[in-house]
Amino acid sequence: MRTTAHGRAGSGRSLKTTPLEYDVEAIRKRFPTLEQSVHGHPLVYLDSAASTQKPVSVLEAMDRFYRQDNANVHRGVHELSQRATAGYEEARAKVASFLGATTPREITFVRGATEGINLVARSFLAPRLRPGDEVVVTTMEHHSNIVPWQLVCAEKGARVRAAPITDRGELDLEALESMITERTRLLGVVHLSNVLGTINPVRSIIETAHRKGVPVLVDAAQAASHLPLSVRDLDCDFLVISGHKMYGPMGIGALFGKLDHLETMAPYQGGGDMILTVSFEKGTTFAAPPSRFEAGTPHVAGAIGLGAAVDFLRELDPASIAAHETDLLRRGEALLTAIPGVRLIGTAPDKASILNFVVDGIHPHDLGTVLDQEGVAVRTGHHCAQPTMERFGLPATARASIGCYNTYQDLEALAAGLDKAIRMFR
Give the residue numbers marked as catalytic: 384
SS3 of 368, please? helix
Cα-Cα-Cα-Cα dihedral sign, residues 101, 106, 112, 113: negative
Which residues in 87-100 are b (16+ Cβ under 10 Å) and which e?
Answer: bbeebbebbbebbb
CA angle 262, 122, 113 (to 5 degrees): 75
Buried residues in 315-340 as b, exposed as e (16+ CB within 10 A): ebbbbbbbbbbbbbbeebbebbeeee
Helix (H) or strand (E) holding 12: none
**Residues pairing with 137 in the sheet:** 162
Cβ neighbors of 286 (< 8 A, separation 6 or more) are 266, 267, 274, 275, 276, 292
Residue burial 46-79, b: 16+ Cβ < 10 Å; e: rest: bbbbbbbbbbeebbebbeebeeebebbbbeeeee
SS3 205: helix
Nearest alpha-carbon partner for 290 in 79, 83, 88, 151: 88
Contact 383, 399 (CB under 8 A): yes
Rounded to 5°, angle at Cα 120 from 116 and 124: 160
Q: Is the separation of the CB atoms in 173 and 203 below 8 Å?
A: no
The residue among 101, 113, 135 whose CA lies nearest residue 246 is 113
Closest CA to 92 of 304, 273, 316: 304
Count the neighbouring beta carbons within 10 Å of the beta carbon of residue 393: 6
